[in-house]
Structure 1
Amino acid sequence: MSITIQICGAARTVTGSCYLFDTPAGRFLVDCGLFQGSKTLKALNYGAFPFRPSDVNAVLLTHAHIDHSGLLPKLTREGFAGPIFATRGTIDLCSYMLPDSGNIQETEVAVLNRRNAARGRAAVTPIYTQADAIAALDQFRPVEYQAWYPVIPGVRARNWNAGHLLGSASIELEFADQGDDGRPLRVLMSGDIGPDAKLLELDPEGPTGLDYVFCESTYGDTDRPSTTSALRRSHLAQEVRDAAAGRGALLIPAFAVERTQELIADLADLMARGDIPAAPIFLDSPLAIRATEVFRRHTASLDPAVDLDRLLTSSQLRFTETVDESKSIARLTGFHIIIAASGMCDAGRIRHHLKRWLWRKECTVLLTGFQAQGTLGRFLQDGAKAVRIQGEEIKVGARIRYIDEYSGHADGPELERWIASRRPIRRGLFIVHGEERALGGLLNRIAERILPTAQIFTPMLDDAYDLSTAAPTSVDVARRRRLAPDAVVNLDWHNDMSKLVLDINDQIESAADDRARGVIVRRLRRALEQAGT
């Protein structure tokens, strides 16, 4: 009886997590996430799944982040009718995150279609709607940590705390009578692994003695300095004091779930201690506001050393839920703090605040998490002098700062220890959910030290393997790759086009006079004419 897995996302990239298991008894997914980053990657969200949703019998969800859960509404709308197994924390978060994602799809498509109409272009439809997302919630089924539950005939699963996010899990799979000597075949899907010093979460856990492990590698090439909660708050305090000296806004793009709650807790604590100036903290995200209430309901499952309920009710905290409330922040002068989604600056209200503040030297933008290739946050982190936001060119005059101590992901040494703790790993380790450098960095750490190089695999998008053989065997099936490998890992022509437009404007603006500007324009026109011949 063969068992195959197809890697349908998060291969050589950190988004779109999705793994299809196929057995004679049925098919199931682990995760069904949204692709983020370049337009080429995001286009996959609009295309067909590399499988028929109606053929899938169940979904096992590692956690609520949209790059792991965000295509579930599309999956259910297109015919998937089975259960979606997840922890209670994940279900509670998804009950807000998925409808919010549907609302974002509808809102952004409405804006795009207004622009398309003005340009004579065809209208587009959203990936899914808020109603689709609400309908998908009916298929969620709660599971407990470290308790076995049936998935399909001959397959059972249990969840282990991954230490990454409220409700996050690594998922252990057991396939009956598929191992050596009639033993069950055991597979572990890591999900996202949290770091050792996470503010709200307990340390990640997991089983040992597995046949296969699929492990994320988001920060596989990174060695973070050792940190403590006191050191993390000290670094944040210094960034806040420096921002306050500018007498403008401190913009913190942050993921609405967990990153935001961690930042609020530390900012409120620092203000209460007098370590930073007291200032209003605007939580400008309806989703983050609702997620904050979920965290308050689940404090019993979080680190008991953190008085989260007290910190999340700070007198400095301001909730701005409506659009009018959000717009009213623009009237403020002087130092204030705005926390808004998205964490990679690619959607949500943070973009409106960036348009207002990014060109001003009084402003500080503090990035607090991973910025995927091709996102606006990544361009800012990499030192862009100008960026395009909603079709407008914005000069970067603000201070761009970055701290990595709020990351929800384990770094390279922590991933290495987590993998080592899963041994013995009898048949193979698959490294997924990482960009090229990170994936290669983790491979170099563990090859021969933890596992023989021949037992480590780095799949590409849409690769498939037979796991029931003595070693994983690549499956040559009649399927077309949705993207060429280099299109997954590289910036696409949309990114190149945006940079070209910015570079042209810079050259024209810096030209000595109108005659020099005319020379530039004529050269560009000749280049275009030559390209068209």
Structure 2
Amino acid sequence: MTGTGGSLRFLGAADTVTGSRFLVERAGRRVLVDCGLFQGFKVLRARNRAPFPIDPSSIDAVILTHAHLDHSGYLPALVRDGFDGPIFASEGTAELCGILLPDSAHLLEEEARAAARGGWSRHEHPRPLYDTHDVERAMHLMDPVAFHEPQRIGDEFEFSLIRAGHILGAAGVALRLGDRVVRFTGDLGRPDDPLMPPPEELGTCDILVTESTYGDHSHGLADPQVVLGEIVRRVAAAGGVVLIPAFAVGRTETILLHLSRLRAAGDIPDIPIFVNSPMAVSVVDVYRRHAAEHRIDQAELDRMYDLATMIRSVDDSKLLNLRGGPMIIISASGMLTGGRVLHHLVAYGPDPKNAIVLTGFQAGGTRGAALLAGADTLRIFGKDVAVRAEVHHLHTMSAHADARQTIDWMRTGSRPSMVYVTHGEPAAADALRLRIERELHWAARVPEQGEKVTI
């Protein structure tokens, strides 16, 4: 490939954390890096229902950084509306998408049916954003590729996947357009993550598109395992329930690892632990198959998963709400946007002897963010539910690099001509931009939603 680059258009994650979608164009070809759902405030979620900004059939290929829905969750809608090119992803990401996307469709379908029955939708005939048939079509387009193995998309593009830490299969993308290289961080993992290895070095690039989820934040020095142990001991002594909303991919594994180590050290009592998320249960097999990609050995991985009872059926899920404490329930979703955790929140949220432990970023507009802001009632299934349980936030358990770790990672590469700061709330994105300019003396800016730049 010869000549200069093309253009980059920010179709998502430009004024918020979610909806990761970056369109790169060159010589008539189009590549979409990530195809995520917008989550959080209603005005953001409404973007999922709006027509895609360009004709999906005009996109030649999609490259996924990882499987979380804010990076992959719009794929079925894109395929439904005409996209039929390859979807490139790491093997781990492809396998996890085979679990997350069907689950997303199921929840969307279930939510539409519940809204129709309950009459709490403004639409007379509520319809899901996409369905299981759309997911099946999208999965047929999935094309797993190896890390560091260059891939061509016509004569205009070449790309490689670079390990990003964060979750199983997560990648950064190095996309070459002629003599220009654009580097996308995806979600950048932590150097000190207990489960996943650190992200690989930045290296050389002309343009860097970085996430900024924790761009104004430090994870601090508090050990999340110690804090979690203190909460479990106190709540268990009162006969309460520790409810841990957790992302089914990655976060559930980290929580189980901490609980396993606490149990082995005798730092928490031997109370029942349940994982109640069909998706999280399915993910277990994927993590076991890719044991070589973790920091921990097979023996500790087995101990971690043997610790908990995996809940599969709806009936067993309902029984947990009648069981009472002491016990620990780990259930999706991590931001309380849907899933079985909402039923547990209805059952156990009103009791002050229980605890709700939030373990990661809570996007604005989600129930998790509302709890952190001090809300004492939450709207769930069309009703207001009182929340009197303790609420804790273990932000130190996040799988994202914080601001200092992100800056330190950038030091592993050469100076790009521009850094575009994305995938963060406005305050976080601007704070990271300022640090990049002041500490690294690199040019940086926060792009606007829909903005198009030359690269």
Q: TM-score, normalised by structure 1?
A: 0.82
1:204 maps to which residue?
Answer: 199
1:225 maps to which residue?
Answer: 220
Which of 67, 70, 75 pairs up with 2:73?
70
Letter in 1 for 2:432: L
Letter in 1 for 2:136: I
Which of 457, 460, 463 pairs up with 2:445?
457
Runs of 4+ displaced beyond 6 Å: none
Residue 274 (structure 1) aligned with residue 276 (structure 2): no
Residues paired across the two proteins, number: 452
- For residues 422 and 138 of structure 2, the distance between their equivalents in structure 1, rounded to whole angstroms, comes to 27
1:161 maps to which residue?
Answer: 163
CA contact (8 A) 1:98 1:134 kept: no
- For residues 91 and 333 of structure 2, the distance between their equivalents in structure 1, rounded to whole angstroms, comes to 24
Letter in 2 for 1:9: G
TM-fit CA distance, 1:280: 1.1
Change (3 A) 1:350 1:150: same
Residue 103 (structure 1) aligned with residue 106 (structure 2): yes
- For residues 246 and 216 of structure 1, the distance between their equivalents in structure 2, rounded to whole angstroms, comes to 41
Letter in 1 for 2:164: A
- For residues 56 and 133 of structure 1, the distance between their equivalents in structure 2, rounded to whole angstroms, comes to 18
Secondary structure in 2 matching 1:397: coil
- For residues 136 and 80 of structure 1, the distance between their equivalents in structure 2, rounded to whole angstroms, comes to 9
1:429 maps to which residue?
Answer: 419
TM-fit CA distance, 1:114: 1.8
Letter in 1 for 2:333: S
- For residues 208 and 405 of structure 1, the distance between their equivalents in structure 2, rounded to whole angstroms, comes to 27
TM-fit CA distance, 1:265: 2.0
C-alpha offsets along residues 111-150 of structure 1, whole Å, 9 cap, x if unaligned? 112233x888511211110121122111111111111111
Change (3 A) 1:43 1:308: farther
TM-fit CA distance, 1:306: 6.8
Change (3 A) 1:120 1:377: closer
CA contact (8 A) 1:253 1:343 kept: yes
Letter in 1 for 2:52: F
CA contact (8 A) 1:199 1:262 kept: yes
CA contact (8 A) 2:246 2:359 kept: yes
- For residues 131 and 243 of structure 1, the distance between their equivalents in structure 2, rounded to whole angstroms, comes to 44
1:175 maps to which residue?
Answer: 177
- For residues 293 and 312 of structure 1, the distance between their equivalents in structure 2, rounded to whole angstroms, comes to 13
- For residues 156 and 122 of structure 1, the distance between their equivalents in structure 2, rounded to whole angstroms, comes to 47
Letter in 2 for 1:390: F
Bigger drift between 270-279 and 74-83 goes to 270-279
Which of 359, 373, 380 pairs up with 1:368?
359
C-alpha offsets along residues 433-458 of structure 1, whole Å, 9 cap, x if unaligned? 00012112212212132134xx2121
TM-fit CA distance, 1:224: 2.2
- For residues 298 and 231 of structure 2, the distance between their equivalents in structure 1, rounded to whole angstroms, comes to 22
Residue 45 (structure 1) aligned with residue 36 (structure 2): no
Change (3 A) 1:233 1:448: closer
TM-fit CA distance, 1:313: 3.7
Change (3 A) 1:339 1:135: same
- For residues 36 and 232 of structure 1, the distance between their equivalents in structure 2, rounded to whole angstroms, comes to 26
TM-fit CA distance, 1:55: 0.2
TM-fit CA distance, 1:199: 1.6
TM-fit CA distance, 1:24: 1.1
Bigger drift between 53-62 and 2-11 goes to 2-11
CA contact (8 A) 1:170 1:206 kept: no
1:345 maps to which residue?
Answer: 336
- For residues 302 and 438 of structure 2, the distance between their equivalents in structure 1, rounded to whole angstroms, comes to 48
CA contact (8 A) 1:105 1:126 kept: yes
- For residues 234 and 413 of structure 1, the distance between their equivalents in structure 2, rounded to whole angstroms, comes to 23
CA contact (8 A) 1:200 1:303 kept: yes
Change (3 A) 1:364 1:63: same
Map 1:354-365; keep pairs closer than 5 Å.
354-365=345-356
1:57 maps to which residue?
Answer: 60
Stretches of structure 1 that go unaligned for 5 or more consecutive residues are 177-183, 468-533
**Higher RCO (Cα < 8 Å, 6 or more apart):** 2
C-alpha offsets along residues 34-65 of structure 1, whole Å, 9 cap, x if unaligned? 11001111111111100110000000000000
Secondary structure in 1 matching 2:34: strand
Q: Report the aligned-residue RMSD.
A: 1.6
1:325 maps to which residue?
Answer: 316
TM-fit CA distance, 1:207: 3.9
Secondary structure in 1 matching 2:62: strand
CA contact (8 A) 2:29 2:156 kept: no
1:249 maps to which residue?
Answer: 241
Letter in 2 for 1:88: E
1:29 maps to which residue?
Answer: 32
2:130 maps to which residue?
Answer: 128
Secondary structure in 1 matching 2:234: helix
1:262 maps to which residue?
Answer: 254
TM-fit CA distance, 1:29: 0.3
C-alpha offsets along residues 145-174 of structure 1, whole Å, 9 cap, x if unaligned? 111111232210001110111000000011
Q: TM-score, normalised by structure 2?
A: 0.96
TM-fit CA distance, 1:305: 4.8
2:407 maps to which residue?
Answer: 416
Letter in 2 for 1:201: M
- For residues 313 and 41 of structure 1, the distance between their equivalents in structure 2, rounded to whole angstroms, comes to 36
1:494 maps to which residue?
Answer: none
Change (3 A) 1:2 1:313: closer
